[in-house]
Amino acid sequence: MLKTIRDFEVSQKKVLVRFDFNVDFDKTGEILDDYRIRKSLPTIEYLLGKKAKLILMSHLGRPNGEPKGKCSLKPVARRLEEYLKKPVKFVPDCVGPAAEKAAKAMGPGEIILLENVRFHKEEEKNDLNFAKEIASFGDLYINDAFGVAHRVHATVVGIPKFLPSGLGFLMEKELNTLSKAMKKKLPPLVAIIGGVKIETKIKLIGRLLKDADHLILGGRIAYEILAGKGLCLAGPFPGEDILKVLEKIDITNPKLHLPVDAAFILKSGNGGYFRNAPLGQLRKEEAVLDIGPETGKIFAEVIKTARTVIWNGPVGKFEDERFAKGSLAVAQAIIKSRAFSIVGGGETSGFLKKYNLLKEFDFISTGGGAMLTFLEGEKLPALEALER
């Protein structure tokens, strides 16, 4: 039985809390969507009310094991201060003398936010010495980062080896809601996968081709697959490791639905040029940024048949309104279908928020890959670590 935050006496204790503050920023460095930050507030406020000492940690982006300014959590500290109406001390590292000193100096009801844990390569390598050093700052550990529950990382599965551990309120709610969603999941099931990170979703695509009634692929992922199959010159060409996996995917499978046209721009130029065209007309000097109108119609017809829809990842670069039409077509088709809808991933929720569509969907998860892993019936490493 997994313990939760309620099962611990936290007063005067130093509580290490792993959150998922992996938010997106605009070109000026402002946070685009703070949905994940807002979802962390119930756990933080509960601990503050119990006079705990809060040590918060998270990752942000993909800095590949080294400090990068654009991946700093400092703006997150400022946003937390706005919501909590109290200081959040930002510590410029997650290990080392500065972090140790800040943790030792804490008083009840105080909060510190450690710098991005992925600034150290040991995080993604699940280095136990790295986990042990961070664990030494606290008296107990709470995991409230559902978005990385499928990752075998030091602050996800390593720290529970050294401290009493449990679930935060967001993690608990995600698991309870998704468990209920699985019971409501009725066929036909349509899964929609978009976004840009093919390396994190390629294996999942293979599983969904077996388990879903229909699998729709959009975004960079779809055009990378089409490029790998020699059907899209403008698509980003996948690496050798992805090509090997693609050999096992039969794109003639009637369950699989890929784009037939695209919206794109010139790779070089002022960005003013863009057009829609069938895949066969795309050129190497052009870059795909959205599905085309014909693809939108085809996808809508497939979605119309669904009683359950799982959606992870926009199908275009929605930040630019010229390339939001595909994702809007998908969203409207889901709404019209009246299927039970489960949406996951920060980019997808950011898109829905931008177009005021969040309330039109049954459940919005803070996790993308974690949500899909859970719904596929796979065990989440974070939960296994807490059980141990």
Residue 311: pLDDT band (50, 70, 90) is: very high
Residue 234: pLDDT band (50, 70, 90) is: low
Query: Could you identify the residue written with the tokens 């109406």?
Result: 85
Tokens of 79: 């946003």
pLDDT value, residue 270: 58
- Condensed to tens digits (0 to 9), the pLDDT of residues 134-156 reads 999 999 999 999 999 999 999 99
CATH 3.40.50.1260 domain locations along the chain = 5-172+382-387, 185-355
- CATH H-level superfamily of 185-355: Phosphoglycerate kinase, N-terminal domain (3.40.50.1260)
Separate counts of helices (H) and strands (E) for the chain:
14, 15
| Residues present in the chain in total | 388
pLDDT value, residue 251: 87
Whole-number Å distance between alpha carbons of 207 and 380: 16
CB atoms within 10 A of CB 272: 7
Given strand 111-114, what is the order of strands in its sheet? 89-91, 111-114, 53-57, 14-18, 140-143, 165-167
pLDDT at 103 over 90: yes
Residue 123: pLDDT band (50, 70, 90) is: very high
pLDDT at 229 over 90: no
* Residue-wise burial string across 364-377, b where 16 or more C-beta atoms lie within 10 A, e elsewhere: bbbbbbbbbbbbee
Q: What percent of the chain has pLDDT over 90?
A: 64
> Closest by alpha carbon to 55, among 89, 11, 98?
89
Return phi, psi of residue 116, to 5°. -40, 115
Residue 208: pLDDT band (50, 70, 90) is: confident
Average pLDDT over residues 249-263: 91
Whole-number Å distance between alpha carbons of 10 and 382: 21
Tokens of 74: 């400092």
pLDDT value, residue 269: 59
Tokens of 91: 């510590």
Confidence (pTM): 0.82
pLDDT at 336 over 70: yes
Please compute, for residue 54, the number of CA atoms within 13 A of its CA located in the half-sphere on the CB side. Answer: 32
Helical residues (DSSP H) of the chain, grouped into ranges: 35-49, 74-84, 97-104, 121-124, 128-135, 169-184, 198-211, 219-228, 240-246, 293-303, 325-337, 346-354, 369-375, 381-387
Among 137-141, 152-156, 268-272, 283-287, which stretch is predicted with the lowest mean pLDDT? 268-272
- Strands 261-266 and 111-114, by their bridges, are unpaired
Whole-number Å distance between alpha carbons of 3 and 145: 15
Q: What percent of the chain has pLDDT over 70?
A: 97
Tokens of 92: 């410029």
pLDDT value, residue 196: 78
- CATH H-level superfamily of 5-172+382-387: Phosphoglycerate kinase, N-terminal domain (3.40.50.1260)
Average pLDDT, the chain: 91
Among 43-47, 67-71, 156-160, which stretch is predicted with the lowest mean pLDDT? 67-71
Q: Are 20 and 147 in contact (CB under 8 A)?
A: yes
Q: Which residues pair with 16 in a beta bridge?
A: 55, 141
Residue 188: pLDDT band (50, 70, 90) is: very high
Tokens of 206: 């293979």
Return phi, psi of residue 18, to 5°. -90, 115
Catalytic residues: 36, 197, 346, 369
Average pLDDT over residues 41-46: 98
Helix axes 169-184, 35-49, angle to 10 degrees: 130
